Chain A
Amino acid sequence: MEINLFGKLILLPTDVIAAWVLMIITGPLVLYWLTKKRAWPVIWDYATSTHHRKIGTVYIIFSILFFFRAGVDALFIRLQLITPENQFWVFQGDKYNEIFTTHGTMMIFFVATPLLIGLMNVAVPLQIGANDLAFPYLNLVSVYLFVTGGMIFFAAFFFNAAPNAGWTAYAPLSTSTFTAGPNNNYYILGLQVSGLGTIFAAINMLVTILRLRAPGLKLTRMPLFPWASLITSFLILVAFPVLAIALLLLQFDRQFGSQFFMGELGHPVYWQHLFWIFGHPEVYILALPAFGIFSDIISAFSRKNVFGYTSMVAALALIGLLGLMVWAHHMFTVGLGPFANTFFAITTMMIAIPTGIKVFNWLFTMRKGVIRIQTPMLFALGFIPTFVMGGVTGVMLASAAADMQYHDTYFVVAHFHYVIIGSTVLGSFAGIYYWYPKITGKMLDDKLGKWHFWLFLIGFHLTFFPQHLAGLNGMPRRVYDYTWEDGVFVYNFISSIGAFMMGASMLIVLWNVYKTHRKKEENAGADPWDGRTLEWSVPSPSPEHPFEKMPVISRRDPLWWAKLEKKELPHTENHRASPVSVKTVQPMFLSVALTIMSFGFIYGWIWMQILGGAAALASFVIRAFNDERKPAYEREEMDNEQ
């Protein structure tokens, strides 16, 4: 659509206009509804509190919001591909590039990663008997950085400048020579800001798990979700800094005239190395926490302890370690030479071994167990075969010679959706159903949950199984069109139907949440699932600093054994100090400052860069002079003088 504004001709695609119109209509409605429901005090509480449950909830809510956004992108993609030579709305050519880039980037960085970090925030401190994360203030900063980065990325589309170089942003396509305009600057700044938040979250999680466990809760007595979080956090520490530097170098290429990744002087392959040194561990950053969630759920719903606990932990560690040495399997077709390709093919195939160990341990955990099939367990049961299929295609892709055929086809698309949806998305759904009473005090409806599961799982397999076949028949990824002669119509048609089934299942989730909160039901109680681990010993929703009476742990699954022996968990008054929580608006200020600075860099407005940067630095100083621990330390000084 062409608009004549102040004598300037502006070209706007109709989807952007539609989005603006939709936002202008629904925005005030939502604000009105929130005011009518008197929700602002609650929102303000969640926006300024450092309580780990509330921060986890914010993580989850925003990831689900982005999940719907990126999911709608996926539906548009499927509508464009539903028949050969289709012309759906505006999604052809560069518009199609924008939509698959947004879909991929958003799903990985603003849905999968924060969804899991949110669940870690909710569950891990409770599972290990910590009163909060080690650095509550930093935790609030992390969640603000994630939301800020996500919103910067989200905004790109509204300014008709969605990134368009794929979620991998391969150079030289992503450099200013080939994609001028602000589009990929949004990618750089959005990921840079949220990536910093992820790093801080990982530091917080590591220190919490290593130092704040309840007395007697040795590492070897820890449930598997905290174990998975520990190893994931370590992977984040190695992976995300590399991404940060890669993005910085790309930004220099785009804005300051360097040529790291392009031209006669630069090496495009260097970008690929940096990106995948981050990108492959990222896959395990997404998968490992889901493994942890499934381990806990399968054990709780089979009323049995985890089979092969030691080998489960060892497998997690091994997957984490191997995950750092496989990045070049994304680059088999680059021509790194037979030695490199062989090395990375073998390390990749080796990952199947610890993963196999885990799969068999889950099966043996269920063996002779008293299995209850409720929604979280159903997701765990759906996960195992789905993920195994993704793993098998993974080993197929790992053979470098065969990969020449599969590379950049829909076979790869099918593979990574099987592993990431199979583990991360199913795992997050399972975790949300499982810990929902711990977050809100209410149980989600089990029947609707089962509808959600079946519709989602069937829709998922309908969508992605045919994509294997489309890929084997030669359909490349990231194309918006194909012909009747290509012979891939049927696969794409089925795939599109499946995608809409998955979309419909998400509406059931919305209905379920609405239904659960509509009626004033009584509290679900501390232990609705008859759980085994410590989080079920505290009231629901979990209060701030729930372990004032610190439990003393003498074995794995302490709550379960206490219940069996009909005894209370032993307590102690004498334990280490808890982190100091605070209500603060400072991270909000930092978030505004970083937004200003980011838009300054995206559009090259120097005054905004300076203003935002100075404000961001000022927030350090403000923080330094408003330390929440000052009163606590003063009290301690007085106590010690007496």
Chain B
Amino acid sequence: MSSKTMSKDLYGDKRMGFFIYLFVEAIMFSTLFATYIIYTPPQMGLYPGELFKLHTVVLASVFLLSSSGTLMIAEKGLDRKNARMILTGLLITFTFGATFMYFEVDEFYKFISEGHTVAKNNFLASYFVLVGLHASHVLFGLGWMIVLLIQRKLLPFNLFAEKHRIFNYYWHFVDIIWVLIVIIVYTPYLF
């Protein structure tokens, strides 16, 4: 048995499997984008432009998009086997992701407390399902980062690096979905 290349082979399997999984996710999100496009703008109720706030979108985007950049620090750390860079990268990314979640929750809370709920019309319903699914992905990613931070010392380096890299793909993917959300959900009604 060639156990010396084991981690390389198994990581290759896992990466391909995870990319296929992200393809599945992409199909799910594109179905939701289609739903949003079909039902927006709504026949009754507020026009999306009257609801969305430019500064929330911009602030949320700044934090989430730059978190993809700060994750690169951790990725570099993985390549150089530099524990400090990994830790720094993960912590900054986590903070930025959490800040993004703050803006998301705040926006949802405002909409709901002003009575713009799922039951109001289908624009809001598809907005909540789509953006809510994305937000739950970010939340899941935050939990994942906590697990990674604990695992840093517990696992053999190859296994930790593998799990970390898979997480990086996930986080970048969630970021790309956010870019699409900004382009398809917000931009047409903000300007």
Contact = CB atoms under 8 A, between A and B. Distances in A.
Interface of A: 134-135, 138, 199, 203-204, 206-207, 210-212, 237-238, 240-242, 244-246, 248-249, 252, 256-260, 264-267, 270, 274, 548, 573-580, 617, 620-621, 624-625, 627, 629-630, 632-637, 639-640
Contacts of A240: 24
17 contacts: A210-B16, A211-B12, A237-B23, A252-B125, A258-B119, A258-B125, A265-B44, A576-B2, A577-B6, A579-B13, A621-B143, A632-B3, A633-B7, A633-B159, A636-B6, A637-B156, A639-B3
Nearest to B133: A248
A409 to B, nearest CB: 31
Interface residues of B, number: 47
Contacts of B27: 237-238, 241-242
A577 B24 contact: no
Interface in B102-137: 117-119, 121-122, 125-126, 129
Contacts, number: 139
B119 A256 contact: yes
Contact of A265 (B7, B24, B43, B155): B43
Interface of B is mostly: helix
B171 to A, nearest CB: 16
Interface in B137-191: 143, 147, 151, 154-159, 163
Given A199-B24, A211-B12, A260-B39, A624 B151 contact: yes
A270 B38 CA distance: 9
Contacts of B125: 252, 258-260
B10 A580 contact: yes
Given A258-B122, A265-B44, A576-B5, A207 B28 contact: no
Given A257-B117, A630-B156, A640 B4 contact: yes
A245 B31 contact: yes
Nearest to B125: A258
Interface of A is mostly: helix
B58 interface: no
A257 B17 contact: no
8 closest A-B pairs (Cβ-Cβ)?
Answer: A257-B119, A258-B125, A577-B6, A241-B27, A577-B9, A245-B31, A241-B28, A633-B156
A270 B125 CA distance: 15
Contacts of B35: 245, 249, 260, 270
B159 to A, nearest CB: 4
B155 A630 contact: yes
B20 A206 contact: yes
A207 B38 contact: no
Contacts of A639: 3-4
B117 to A, nearest CB: 7
Interface of B: 1-7, 9-10, 12-14, 16-17, 20-21, 23-25, 27-28, 31-32, 35, 38-39, 42-44, 117-119, 121-122, 125-126, 129, 143, 147, 151, 154-159, 163
B118 A245 contact: no
A593 B7 CA distance: 32
Nearest to A617: B143
Contacts of A573: 1-2
Contacts of B129: 248-249, 252, 258
B31 A241 contact: yes
Given A237-B27, A245-B28, A135 B13 contact: yes
B17 A625 contact: no
Given A203-B21, A242-B27, A260-B125, A575 B13 contact: no
B3 to A, nearest CB: 5
A325 to B, nearest CB: 16
Most buried by B among A211, A575, A617, A636: A636
B13 A207 contact: yes
Contacts of B4: 636, 639-640
B181 to A, nearest CB: 15
A156 B28 CA distance: 27
Contacts of A267: 38
A620 B13 CA distance: 20
Contacts of B126: 260
A629 B147 contact: no
Contacts of A246: 31
Given A203-B21, A580-B10, A639-B4, 19 more contacts: A206-B20, A207-B20, A241-B27, A241-B28, A241-B31, A242-B27, A245-B28, A245-B32, A256-B118, A259-B122, A266-B122, A270-B38, A574-B2, A577-B1, A577-B10, A617-B143, A630-B156, A632-B6, A639-B3
Contact of B24 (A204, A237, A252, A260): A237
